[in-house]
Structure 1
Amino acid sequence: MKYHFITIEGSIGAGKTTLAHLLAKKLNTRLILEEFADNPFLPKFYENPKQYAFPLELFFMAERFKQQKELLHTNDLFQHVTVSDYLFTKCLLFAKMNLPEEEFRLYQKLFDIMYQQLTFPDILIYLHSPVTRLQANIRKRNRSYEQQIPDEYLFNIQETYTNYIRQHNIKTIIIDASNADFLGNEAHLQVVLDALEKDYDTGQHFFTLP
């Protein structure tokens, strides 16, 4: 494997965790999954975003930092492959969307301190799906607190990610996941596996699924 630290990103409902599980199994890698269910502010945030955005984002950042610090800063980081279903920078991207300016400035100071202590992924896999598909996936997995997420919020997440990827010239495999079925269609998973066998320059590299 050419890449020691592979991260998967995308909007809510894009299939990040499913793909991370499958890649980790196929490649026999270490797996880091976001523990979103442990965040007690998540259901409250969807009910009252203004009141709960700051504690929500702080909790996520602290948990992600603790998790990556423990799992990635080991002696065998570069002897084993790690797959993660989130990019630590998503902390800052979501905070910028959800927090008022003064709270975001404070949050960014804390983020900068933590970010300097972590390892950046060798490659990012970004799953891009239309919002209609995202909403269908959200309904299918049936988490009660997600069922009222507005289309506009999902559009904003995608725009925030794509702007970040373009501006920072990150080495990124972008998968058109409009019809993705990584769990049920072996050919879809194989596209990703084949993509990970190649060397890339920094920037965006686009793939479609059969």
Structure 2
Amino acid sequence: MNYRFITIEGNIGAGKTTLAHMLAQHFNAKLILEEFADNPFLPKFYEKPQQYAFPLELFFMAERYKQLKDMLQTQDLFSNLVISDYLFVKSLLFAKINLLEEEYNLYQKLFDIINPQLVQPDLLIFLNAPVTQLQANIKKRNRSYEQQIEDDYLLRVHNMYTQYLKQHPVRTLMIDTTKIDFLANPADFQRILDALEKEYEVGINYL
């Protein structure tokens, strides 16, 4: 496999972290996981979105930047595989959904300063899941602050990712999670492993 830095993305509850763990274990890769539990504004945001959206997104961006910068600087990308369960640009995408226009404009200026300093992934794996499946996964993992997430919010997140992938040249492997159950079916996980042996063009490629 020629990819040295793989990022997994998708909506809330799509299975990003699960797949990242499985791939990292299979390839004995360095694993970078989003530390969402350390964000003190996350439970408050779900209770009062407008009040806590800006500090929430600033905290996420700062933590993601520090984590990626620290880990990728100490990693030889030419000899060791790195797998992450988030794309740094998700900071900007969620900010677009959650922030007021004036807040977002300021946030984008900060993002534009930080983003060029980071190594971009060789391949993005995007887990595409319908809202019904996302809600089932959210309920199953039972994080208290997530239980009130509405379908409309998940649809907005989906549309934001879709728009981004259509407009930006990212080498993407799109996986329909209604057709592939990589956690329960070893054959489906093997399909993903086989797919990672292939070379893909920049843009959206479907498994």
Give the partner amino acid of 1:162: T
Instruction: Note if 1:107 corresponds to 2:104.
Output: no
Following TM superposition, the consecutive aligned residue runs of length 4 or more in structure 1 with deviations greater than 4 angstroms are none
Q: CA RMSD in A?
A: 1.0
Match of 1:86 in 2: 86
Instruction: Note if 1:116 corresponds to 2:116.
Output: yes
Could you tell me how far apart the structure 2 residues matched to 1:119 and 1:131 are? Answer: 31
Give the partner amino acid of 1:32: I
Could you tell me how far apart the structure 1 residues matched to 2:53 and 2:188 are? Answer: 36
Cα offset, 1:76, TM superposition: 1.2
Could you tell me how far apart the structure 2 residues matched to 1:96 and 1:147 are? Answer: 22
Match of 1:175 in 2: 175
Could you tell me how far apart the structure 1 residues matched to 2:34 and 2:178 are? Answer: 23
Q: TM-score, normalised by structure 1?
A: 0.96
Q: What's the CA shift string for 1:84-142, capped at 9, x where partnerless?
A: 00000000000011101111111111111110110010010000011000000000000
Q: What's the CA shift string for 1:188-208, capped at 9, x where partnerless?
A: 21121111100011111112x
Match of 1:27 in 2: 27
Following superposition of structure 1 onto structure 2, how do residues 69-84 of structure 1 map, counting pairs within 5 Å? 69-74=69-74, 76-84=76-84
Could you tell me how far apart the structure 1 residues matched to 2:182 and 2:206 are? Answer: 17
Match of 1:11 in 2: 11
Give the partner amino acid of 1:159: N
Match of 2:132 in 1: 132
Cα offset, 1:74, TM superposition: 2.6
Give the share of equivalent positions with the same residue, in percent. Answer: 65
Give the number of equivalent residue pairs. Answer: 207
Could you tell me how far apart the structure 2 residues matched to 1:27 and 1:75 are? Answer: 15
Cα offset, 1:75, TM superposition: 5.5
Structure 2, unmatched stretches of 5+, are: none
Could you tell me how far apart the structure 1 residues matched to 2:20 and 2:137 are? Answer: 16
Q: TM-score, normalised by structure 2?
A: 0.97
Give the partner amino acid of 2:30: R
Cα offset, 1:180, TM superposition: 4.2
Match of 1:145 in 2: 145
- Check whether the contact 1:65–1:114 (CA below 8 A) recurs between aligned residues: yes
Q: What's the CA shift string for 1:146-196, capped at 9, x where partnerless?
A: 000000000011110011011013110000002543222111211211111
Could you tell me how far apart the structure 2 residues matched to 1:180 and 1:75 are? Answer: 31
Give the partner amino acid of 1:165: L
Cα offset, 1:77, TM superposition: 2.3
